[in-house]
Amino acid sequence: MDAGKVKFFPRREMLDLVVADGQARGIVARNMVTGALETYQGHAVVLATGGYGNTWYLSTMAKASNATAVWRAYKRGACFGNPCFAQIHPTCIPQSGAYQSKLTLMSESLRNDGRIWVPKKKGDTRPPQDIPENERDYYLERLYPSFGNLVPRDVASRRAKEMCDNGYGVGPTKLAVYLDFGDAIKRNGRHWIEEKYGNLFDMYHEITNEDPYRLPMRIYPAIHYTMGGLWVDYNLMSNVPGLYVIGEANFSDHGANRLGASALMQGLADGYFILPYTIGDYLATETFQSLKETDEPFQRTTKDVTERIGRLLSVRGKTPADDFHRELGKVMWDNVGMGRNKKGLEAALKEIPKIRNAFWKDVKVVGTADSLNSELERAGRVADFLELSELIARDALHRQESCGGHFRVESQTEEGEAKRDDRNFTYVAAWEYAGDGKVPKLHKEPLKFDYVKPSQRSYK
């Protein structure tokens, strides 16, 4: 940027993709200070707009993180890959009340030294320090003797939920398990823990008002990352020529189950090692019609965006957009969360359109289109979450196997582990928009493994 090669436009939100002659040629963005719609024309478009974890409302994602850019691109023809693959992180600070706006992650590294446990007795209300060693169930160590507390995120998350569902949860909401550093502090001393995790311990203390040096932390799983995203090829281009998608916004690299730290790896790989080499080929070999921002494709798309904003402002209902988002989040977490089954997914597919209809009848967006209006921004994003969520549920329903972060209750081993079905599901599900109210079209991209063979995971 300092060299003048890249220009930065802060406080702009992309609200649509401009497709001309079948190629992605620009975007329509809203100036979030003046409200003006601006068009930007180019020979290709690169989206790096992040994941869609906030579809579930409560997640570890930043509050402004949203799916509008990818969803608008989807509605302009880009396929959405594996939308149901979302990662649920096991070590988040549990929700403490209905007012809560987001969840805070405690770093994964804590599981190196912390031991996870619940009381052996159901509904035990004693404070943790009064529960003797032999009445504690270190369930991950018991179930997975060789991996113990270091099992992958999906397994640790699911087991925590299972413990709580079965009545062993702890803390005021009973939706938490302990992450205990007592042994580590005894073994290495408080100073050693401070050096290693001091910041995290302070953060936990601030949020919960409990001192984790004295009492075990309480943790619970939360939505953290979305492996699904816009479908791209090996050059990171979507099926819309000239539309590139990088980072968490695309579906690539992580399959159904991202491993720790690999999201930043993907950021580097996509943005530094791949895209600079692949996009040049597209620019050099394609032919482009000359196009101005006053031309029809830009005018048409700007008109669509204007109408949509007008629609949001004209509902003039009674309920803030956030209320609909919370309601959606609950449906998603209960039915399209850690353990998914046919009944729940079908219920979600009924509930979501109901919330969406209620939104378009009753949402209240105060303020105007031509000024800084965070409510308008929020409402537009919630409207998109209310559509994307349906695709997520649909994809989860269609994938009848358990696979990575996607756990279908009907597809498990006798020991309650995820059971894959490679015969029927060794493919990427790429969904193509078919029009509002229509069932999207499913494309299956077969997965071919030359060197490794997919097999049942075991952490025993």
Partner 1 sequence: MNFTLKIWRQKSREAEGGFKTYAVKDIPPDASFLELLDVLNADLIRKGEEPIAFDHDCREGICGSCGLVINGRSHGPHKGAATCEQRMRNFRDGEEITVEPWRAKPFPILKDLVVDRTAFDRIMLAGGYVSVRTGGAPDANAIPIPKPVADEAMDAAACIGCGACVAACKNASAMLFVAAKVSQLALLPQGQAERVERAERMIAQMDAEGFGACSNTYACEAECPKKISVTHIARLNREFIRAKLI
Report the interface residues with ligand FAD, using CB under 6 A: 13-14, 48-50, 60-61, 64-66, 68-69, 105, 225, 247-249, 261-264, 267
Which of these segments, 71-79, 201-209, 224-232, 448-456, binds partner 1 (CB under 8 A)? 201-209
Residue whose CB is less far from ligand FAD, 14 or 393: 14
Binding mask 206-225 for partner 1 (x = CB under 8 A): xxxx----------------
Closer residue to ligand FAD (CB): 60 or 301: 60
Does residue number 362 form part of the binding site for partner 1 (CB under 8 A)? no
Choices 13-21, 82-90, 91-99, 284-292 (CB under 8 A): range interacting with partner 1? 91-99
DSSP codes, 178-244:
EEE-HHHHHHH-HHHHHHHHHHHHHHHHHHHS--TTTS-EEEEEEEEEE--EE---TTSB-SSTTEE
Looking at the Cβ atoms of 99 and 449, the one nearer to partner 1 is: 99
CA distance 269 to 253: 10
Helices marked H in 21-81 — which ranges? Answer: 68-75
What is the DSSP code (8-state) at residue 272?
I
What is the distance between the alpha carbons of residues 444 and 365, in angstroms, rounded to a whole number?
40
3-state secondary structure of 69: helix
Q: How far apart are CA 410 and CA 339, in angstroms?
A: 9
Host H or E run for residue 12? strand 12-20
Which of 198/310 has CB closer to partner 1? Answer: 198
Q: Which residues pair with 360 in a beta bridge?
A: none
Name the binder of 226 from ligand FAD, partner 1, none, CB < 5-8 A by kind: none
| Contact letters for partner 1, residues 50-79 (x by CB under 8 A) | ------------xxxx--------------
Our finding on whether 323 is near partner 1 (CB under 8 A) is: yes
367 touches, from partner 1, ligand FAD, none (C-beta below 5 to 8 Å by class):
partner 1
Which CB atom, from 98 or from 261, has the smaller least distance to ligand FAD? 261
User: Residue 203: which of partner 1, ligand FAD, none does it interact with, CB under 5 to 8 A by kind?
Assistant: partner 1
Amino acid at 266: Q
For position 123 contacting partner 1 by CB under 8 A, the verdict is: no
Task: Give the dihedral sign, CA 156/162/163/165.
Answer: positive
**Integer Cα distance of 233 and 237 in angstroms:** 5
- Binding flags for partner 1, 253-292, as an x/- string (CB under 8 A): ----------------------------------------
